[in-house]
Structure 1
């Protein structure tokens, strides 16, 4: 093999890209990320409020649809399941934070252009993963309803609540459902807390992004689980008044997640 052929062979080999480096973080980093998220929200409030309002209206439509179909008893699990798509809904917020960080202009055309450019790419696969977990969430709700309460239907949400809190079977359904839901939420959090912003910023595959996200949680379990609790409690409180609280809390949490990602994953060299 001559020098020309050898050079061609080497050039044809794909260059090796090391996996993203995960940093260990502390609770102070979580607090700093939350403060940075609040700053980003204040720097571009119209964009954050608009995205938060769109998400809140989506939640109201989901609950209204359940009521219109005579399945108001599914309002609570549907609301909880809807919150699970938060990481995907926050993609636009990640782009806003990235632009504020780099000094690029924040415009709707720029935000939607970047999001549209992800169509058919790795971010779409991550969206499919989130959708799959949401389907699993609703499936386990229906399964547990059948196991503990049979296949009975409920005329109203209040009747469903009375059955849940007033019967042993209902309390068992509530306890097991929350345990299973907590496990699914932890899985979703672990594979998405870093993966979505990583895919927004870097040209990596979604498997690498999910592995990096899980590594970030495993490397700093206490701060990351603490962040998961902050997100969960904030979202639960936000959806109680008809999802209205999400108009403000969703953009702040989305911006904060971007800054937490920047602390968890070292810059690419």
Structure 2
């Protein structure tokens, strides 16, 4: 009887763990975006070797994808290469975030610690976020093919130049461009909303990817003008960087990655401070 009472008392002392609070999202302004961009530039200047290395990784990946489609007539490799790059890219981005995080904490930088942090993500929720990005990319590719079939039919073109000429010089082609840009803008907004701060959050707090996406969407809803402005800056920067054979990405991508980390810091209250 006494033993039963002891078991009852022990059980009553065991309390269920309190549910983890959702991340606190703050409203930001355009000045915060500018400040984050300035901080991103400073991080790149403080650790240029790391930024240039990761930037070169992305630039080489883009060059390989284009070469397989255009120069080597191996377009059948372009889609799997692009898909693989989308899955690997977030892990490389984590390396950039980790550089900013260590600079923020005045911690030593080394390739060993950076790669260890990237490797540690393989069994965490960041892998699922990478698949979310891949899914949206697949949706984008298939909507392009669907719109091509609707407006251009199933015609074949002798060359890429002939295809471009048909697109820009016919009513059907111009309609394809117009609607394609609208659909692309919608998919881009969805991608922005789901990912703008989710990857840094997953690195910092080890949340589940659903919580990370919800938090990211909240950040866009709370501060739509600054976030959409940031998306426009990213889009224009990438277009300008890609134009010279992807070379510009070597510098601009690490700066954008460092900036994303600081933007996350301005949007989300650290868990230990909440």
Match of 1:5 in 2: 11
Rounded to whole Å, the distance in 2 between the matches of 1:61 and 1:185 is: 23
Rounded to whole Å, the distance in 2 between the matches of 1:176 and 1:88 is: 33
Rounded to whole Å, the distance in 1 between the matches of 2:234 and 2:228 is: 10
CA RMSD of aligned residues (A): 2.2
Output the TM-score relative to the length of structure 1: 0.91
SS at match of 1:92: helix
Structure 1 residue runs of 5 or longer lacking an equivalent are none
Structure 2 residue runs of 5 or longer lacking an equivalent are none
**2:166 is the counterpart of 1:163:** yes
Alignment partner for residue 104 of structure 1, among 102, 107, 118?
107
Match of 1:58 in 2: 61
Alignment partner for residue 131 of structure 2, among 120, 124, 128?
128
Match of 2:23 in 1: 20
Alignment partner for residue 222 of structure 1, among 222, 225, 230?
225
* Conserved? CA contact 1:26–1:223, under 8 Å: yes
Answer with 1 or 2: which has the greater Rg: 2
Which portions of structure 1, spanning 4 or more consecutive aligned residues, are displaced by more than 4 angstroms?
Answer: 82-89
Offset of 1:156 from its aligned partner? 2.3
* Conserved? CA contact 1:83–1:235, under 8 Å: no
Could you report, residue by residue, the CA deviation over 1:88-135 in whole angstroms, capped at 9, with x for unpaired residues? 642211111011111221111111110110102100000010111111
Rounded to whole Å, the distance in 1 between the matches of 2:232 and 2:89 is: 14
Alignment partner for residue 253 of structure 1, among 230, 240, 256?
256
Output the TM-score relative to the length of structure 2: 0.90
Match of 1:145 in 2: 148
* Conserved? CA contact 1:85–1:130, under 8 Å: no
Closer/same/farther in 2, CA of residues 142 and 215 from structure 1, 3 Å limit: same
Rounded to whole Å, the distance in 2 between the matches of 1:212 and 1:85 is: 23
Q: How many residues align?
A: 261
